[in-house]
Amino acid sequence: MHSWCRILSILALLSSAVAVPASSSVTSAPAASPTVPYASDDPNYPLWNEDEDIIPEAIRGTLGASILGPQNIPMELQNPDLLAPPTTDAGSLPNFKWPFSLSHNRLQTGGWARQQNINDMSIATDLAGVNMRLEVGAIREMHWHNDGEWAYIIQGDLRISTVTPDGQVYVGDVSQGDIWYFPAGYPHSIQAKNTSAGGAEFLLVFDSGSFSEDSTFLLTDWLAHVPKEVIAKNFQVNISAFDHIPASELYIFPSTPPPLNIESDMVIPNDTPMPFTFAMSQVNATQAPGGSYKVVDTRTFPVSTTVCSAEVTVEVGGMRELHWHPTEPEWTFFVSGQARITVYGSSAQATTMDFQAGDIAYIPPSYGHYVENTGNSTLLFLEIFRSGLFQDISLTQWLALTPPELVKAHLGLDDATIASFSRVKQEVVGPAH
């Protein structure tokens, strides 16, 4: 009897020793404390811009030193974050900037074309671009590609046409800010109208990083390499009808402008189920705290199944918010203004680069980034994606919708700061408060 009483007494003592008050929580982790040093308070602003009358130096704060050797001053003025990068940069991401100004230009009677592909930026594996100019009446000859073609009109007016594999036809007009899309293999034509004095200039984006403008399938090039008796048999006409076909490709060449009345240019009325052009210029932009944006994807332009886009403006001091695109590569083209982008590629790798009008940025899927207006005028750029559907993840929205204690544990923020985060995507934010 005494033995049982002793055992019960011991169990009672053990129970009271491990009892936890109802208001406490059980944890195996130590109390919160810094596990790594706090990040620097240095704001890492850009140190200069391309308009300043200075000689740039490779110095940021106490880091770096003056340059004793030769300098390309105009290039260094345009790229302060390469010569004197922010201290937050680390690692060595592949180059993600390409200026069209460095692309070899193909000059033709009636226009020109220059391109960017994986040969210029090895990181740009899924999208490539062409900048093309046509004088009034000039034609980019009838052709087709292995890849889908998306286009944006920078200036001027154009008439395009295509025929589908089912023999359906579409003829359409596009103007500044409008877009078109041709699926891979669809034959098409492009001609500058005479409704603007200088003709037209436009951007072409293809859904393959290895695309080459010099490897398109051209009408004249094909027929120049087919025996004429075969051509005559195919079209069921006399062989003499082909006495004047070109002996080599035309590519871009001058011609008479198309008629103003588009119906008079049609062999038959348009009969495709979906249009191949979209008047993005007529879409009202969505206003944001620091600018505006338009998104065009298969929800509004269903024929464009492999490429979608956003047209973004950022006011002075504003920024396209910190974000990433889950699975979509981004090909960014700067239409006007000055900007900088820091791309975060995981594994403590981050690089900051500066951009001017005519420059291209390429950002792989899931790489975190922002686009900051570093100039003194409105920034206008295009985000173009290898996807039919536009998607992005906002860093601010993610943190705002995550349990606050988790955010506090990661970043050491106070409750008021976390509560101030927008639960709705801002897309474009204004200057800091």
Structure tokens at 203: 């951007």
Distances (CA, A) of 343 to 60, 136, 152, 155, 347: 20, 40, 25, 30, 12
Q: Give the start-end residues of each E strand in 111-175.
A: 111-116, 128-134, 139-144, 149-155, 158-163, 169-174
Please tell me which residue in 201, 383, 405, 427 is annotated as part of the active site.
383
Round to whole Å and give the CA distance between 89 and 167: 54
Q: Is residue 330 annotated as involved in ligand binding?
A: yes
Q: Which helix (H) or strand (E) holds 201?
A: strand 200-206
Task: Answer yes or no: is 369 a known binding residue.
Answer: yes
Tell me, what DSSP letter sits at residue 38?
P
Rounded Cα–Cα distance for residues 92 and 86 (Å): 14
Between CA 311 and CA 336 the distance in angstroms is: 12
Burial pattern 340-362, b for ≥16 Cβ within 10 A else e, equals bbbbbbeeeebbbbbbbbbbbbb
**Known catalytic residue at 405:** no
Cα atoms in the 13 Å half-sphere on the side-chain side of 126: 17
Q: Is 145 annotated as a binding residue?
A: yes
* 149 annotated as a binding-site residue: yes
Task: Say if residue 104 carries a ligand binding annotation.
Answer: no
Residues 95, 108 contacting (CB under 8 angstroms): no
Lookup: tokens for 200: 């037209």
DSSP 240: G
CA 195 to chain centre: 30
Q: Within a 10 A sphere around the Cβ of 23, how many other Cβ atoms?
A: 5
Burial class, 77, CB count within 10 angstroms (exposed 0-12 / middle 13-18 / buried 19+): buried
Segments of 284-401 assigned E as strands: 286-288, 291-296, 308-314, 319-324, 330-336, 338-344, 350-356, 359-363, 368-373, 379-385, 393-394
First and final C-alpha spacing in the chain? 77
Alpha carbon distance 17, 340 (integer Å): 60
Q: Which residues are annotated as a binding site for Mn(2+)?
A: 143, 145, 149, 188, 323, 325, 330, 369
Catalytic residues: 383
Binding residue numbers: 143, 145, 149, 188, 323, 325, 330, 369
